[in-house]
Structure 1
Amino acid sequence: MSRKPHYAWFVLTAAWLAFMGVGLIRFVYPYVVPAMEETLGISHAVMGTIISGFFWADTVMRIVWGMLSDRFGTRLTTLLGLALLSVGFFIMSFATGIFSLVIGFIVCGVGAAALFIMPSPLLSRWFGQSRRSTAIGIVTTAATLVTIVAGFIVPVVLTNNPYNAIWRTEAIFVLVILAVNFFVLADSPAEKGLTPYGASIEELDAIKVNSKGNVWARDRILRVLKDGAFYQIAGSYFVYGVAYTGVLTFLVGYFVEVGWTAGAASHLVALFGMAGLIGALVWGVVGDRLAKRHVFGMTLGMQGLGILVLVLAGQTPAMAYLGVILFGLGGSGPVVMIAAIQADYFDRSTIGTSFGLCAACFSIASAVSPIIGGVLADSTGTLRSALLMGLVGSLIGAVLISLLREPRTVKAVPKSR
């Protein structure tokens, strides 16, 4: 007689669908921007300002949602995030001017921030230390999959429909995801009379001890901010954001600059997305078998190597393909590891807060790195300088996270319960 699957896998499925919401806004809007500019008659500069509303809302709300998830539970914050994301899409679909479009992007930013925070606190409670990285790696593939699929579907839809159709369809789709999460998502295994999947006996004992008292006490938050490990982890994620976003922003332009056609450059970026999809799964499994801080550093090093190969590649196809594959594989690792490493260093009751603060560092880096990269490119006359910025950032992050102390946690022994 077959065993009934642990409910953790149902939670993971719901979380995967919810995390898809991050991709539905962050990785779809670039395809829709030209149509919005043409329909509304606005310039690139104005469009960029409108979109920046999303990123700044996302940055601030990652911190807020992280704290709220610790206080009220990840289920509630995820449902609210999905609801706000759907509302934002509806506002954007009916937008007839700049103001309404700005409001739509800001509301989407507020909602998407909750979904980005969700995997770390939720899956750290549902999966033991020996399964956590794999679970988080699976969930993060949802946003990457959107990137790949959108490249084929969105241009076709826009051929015969106004841009509003994209946002309206996504709004309805997010409502469906909201319904699934409403019926499936649960904050912790205890609600179902279960223990975390793959948790060791030592982990279960630690959970019993930590479950006593105020789960959102002020001293626990201060303990995170007073821990030097927090600043190493957050700092590594910040320079990763500088490197990753700074390079990705100008990657197509760089390929065109060195002699590739725009079409060929787009194909190379699509290959980057596919490599990232595979990388998220691979690094999740590896992170459950090796020290997460070492895997974090390893992936940053691979990202840096990929950028270096791209700098040297020019129009050499083999080197260009190798470069984007290494960049995609390495660049997907820190996203998985930053979520998985939280429970190794911080109390489970404050993971939302610690992860929210780390995630905000990445958002800030994403906002400023294109500006820095653009200034460097303008001053040197080549986008290669933006890639070199990414190379330096990757190496700094790899060294910083590799120097992180060992976690003060028990060693997990795989054990399904």
Structure 2
Amino acid sequence: MEKSRHYALILLTTICITYFAENFLRSAAGALTPLLIEELNISHSSMGMLISAYFFIYGVMQVPSGILSDRLGARKTILYFTVLTIVGIFLFWWSKSYEFLFIAQFLIGIGCSTFYINAVRLVSAWFPANRKATAIGILSASSGLGNFISYMGFPLAVERLGGWRTLYLWMSILLVINWVMNIFLLKDKGDIQVHTSRPDKPPVLKSIVATLKDKRLYPFFAGYMLSTTAWVFMNWMPQFLIDVRGMTYIQVGQIASLGTIAGIPGCILVSAISDRLKKRKAPLLGFSILASAILIVFLNLPTSTPIYVFSALNFLMGFAYSYWVLYFSMIPETLPPQKAAVGLGLVNGLGTIGFSIFTPIYGYFVDITGSYTTSNTLIQVLSLMMPLIFFLFIKECYGGIYDDE
């Protein structure tokens, strides 16, 4: 038991490093939006497409990710696909044209797509029920640190290093080092089996169809897709603040980075509160209401509002939106084990595809109207629908409520 506990902590540490690096790299396009629009001389909708090149394929790959986890095991899936991430990030670092950056984003999206689901499965396997959500929260919090370094680091790199590519290269090298670490750390150690394949694996298509027919998953589909509309705005926030509020790249980097760093305590505390209360629905609903309210206030602040108010609100918004981490405890507690992996993949995948579709649409409305009003109004309406879905259709699932339907 003691050996298993120590291994779980080692496992959590190394996959947190992976998730930190991957989130820095996947946030790069959003953090670099003001620079890339100017550097490449592209429209807002084209920039949205560049961001979506990562997220669309990431979303499409979520179902195969769960299936690959069953077929190959979490360790092999993570290691194999990280190689694609590494190829993509070095292509992004080298690229000077829109076309090559687009291809790089696509490769990074494929490479990163399998990581989180498999990391969650490893964490779920090696942490007890009373620590599982907290451990997943810590894993998810590492994404906030990666996003923070991306949104705050690039403006500082431009100011002090004369460009963004040096910082990007450093983080790329970190991911390579961590990949080597994972080769050695994500292995069976004595009686600890990192992954055990099931002998009764159902056909792939049958697994997908059976999970899609499970109506318990539908509220998670709707809620997660609505959640992503806020993330769309967070990706566009730097450009919005520059265009509408007249802020500098350094100033918007400070504001945006506070929202991402808030995800670190947010993911941990939201998960810990859920574990302490022994409830999932109440914290999910409460934090989603808070997040929607803060988003609406942020979008409607007058032009004269001081920068520190934007910073404080974005920190609170980033904290509140950390409720998304509860999905990844709730779905395995709602669905039977044979559906849980595919269910996680479907929810994460469809939500991410929704994000990838709406991101360029947001930019398109800015291009054709010459303002952010239409795009931001749509985001506010959709964000208000999200808590309603949770209240009406999500059931309490702490400890597992599933029956094999």
TM range (shorter): 0.7 to 0.9
CA shift for structure 1 position 184: 1.4
Deviation at 1:310, TM superposition (A): 1.7
Amino acid at match of 1:396: M
Gaps of at least 5 residues in structure 2 are none
- Structure 1 segment 312-351 matched on structure 2, within 5 A: 312-314=300-302, 315-317=304-306, 320-334=310-324, 336-351=325-340
The yes-or-no answer on 1:43 pairing with 2:42 is yes
- 2:368 and 2:108 map into 1 onto residues whose CA distance is 35
Amino acid at match of 1:368: I
**Residue of structure 2 equivalent to 1:71:** 71
Q: Partner residue of 2:378?
A: 389
- Deviation at 1:233? 0.7
Which residue is 1:304 aligned to?
292
> Mean alpha-carbon deviation: is it higher for 90-99 or for 15-24?
90-99
Is the Cα–Cα contact under 8 Å of residues 134 and 288 in structure 1 kept in the other structure?
Answer: yes
Q: Residue 120 of structure 1 corresponds to which residue in structure 2?
A: 120
Worse-superposed segment, 120-129 or 12-21: 120-129
Cα distance in 1 for residues equivalent to 2:11 and 2:312: 36
Structure 1 residues 48 and 305, CA gap change in structure 2 (3 angstroms)? closer
Q: Distance in 1 between matches of 2:151 and 2:234?
A: 16
Cα deviation code 1:241-267 (max 9, x no counterpart):
12x123224434554566463354443
- Taking the TM superposition and a 5 Å limit, the aligned residue runs for 1:235-246 are 235-242=222-229, 244-246=230-232
How big is each residue's C-alpha offset from its partner over 1:358-417, in whole Å with a ceiling of 9 and x where there is no partner? Answer: 111221221222344456667877535434433332332222223223439558xxxxxx
Give the 5 Å matches for 1:121-270: 121-158=121-158, 159-160=160-161, 164-186=165-187, 192-193=190-191, 214-216=200-202, 220-242=207-229, 244-255=230-241, 259=245, 261-262=247-248, 263-270=250-257
User: What's the TM-score, normalizing by structure 1?
Assistant: 0.80
Of stretches 23-32 and 274-283 in structure 1, the one that deviates more from structure 2 is: 23-32
CA gap 1:316/1:287 in 2 versus in 1, 3 angstroms = same
Note the alpha carbon deviations across 1:305-358, whole angstroms, 9 max, x for none.
Answer: 111222443234476455323311121221x11222121012334433211111
Aligned: 1:365 with 2:332: no
Residue segments in structure 1 that go unaligned for 5+ positions in a row: 197-209, 412-417
Secondary structure of the residue aligned to 2:262 is: helix
2-structure distance, mates of 1:395, 1:160: 42
**Deviation sequence 1:14-72 (CA, Å, 0-9, x none):** 22112123313222234456666777x55356555444432322222222222211222
Secondary structure of the equivalent of 2:61?
Answer: helix
Alpha-carbon distance in 2 for matches of 1:59, 1:362: 7
CA–CA distance in 2 between the matches of 1:95 and 1:251?
25
- 1:273 counterpart letter in structure 2: T
Task: Supply the distance in 2 between the matched residues of 1:249 and 1:31 (Cα, whole angstroms).
Answer: 7
Kindly state the Cα deviation for residue 192 of structure 1 after the two structures are TM-superposed. Answer: 5.0
- Deviations along 1:185-204, whole A, 9 cap, x unmatched? 258xxx753599xxxxxxxx
Corresponding position of 1:23: 23
Aligned counterpart in structure 2 of residue 407 of structure 1, from 371, 374, 397: 397
C-alpha distance in 2, partners of 1:392/1:344?
30
Which whole-Å CA distance do the structure 2 matches of 1:87 and 1:53 have between them? 16
Could you tell me whether the CA contact under 8 Å between 1:297 and 1:397 is conserved in 2? no
CA 1:151–1:379 in 2, change beyond 3 Å: closer, same or farther? closer
Cα displacement string for residues 64-95 of structure 1 (whole angstroms, at most 9, x for unaligned residues)? 22221122211111112221111112223343
What's the CA shift for 1:108? 1.0
Query: 1:108-151, CA deviations, whole angstroms, 9 ceiling, x for partnerless residues?
Result: 11111122333332222222332221111111122211222234
Query: d(CA) in 2 for partners of 1:313 and 1:47?
Result: 26
Question: Counterparts of 1:253 and 1:37 in 2: how far apart (Å)?
Answer: 9
CA contact (8 A) 1:305 1:326 kept: no
Q: Indicate how the Cα distance of structure 1 residues 384 and 80 shifts in structure 2: closer, same or farther if over 3 A, else same.
A: same
How many percent of aligned residue pairs carry the same amino acid? 22
RMSD: 3.4
Q: Is the 8 A contact 1:84 1:107 kept in 2?
A: yes
Between 249-258 and 348-357, report the one with greater CA deviation: 249-258
Contact 2:130 2:275 (C-alpha < 8 Å) held by counterparts: yes
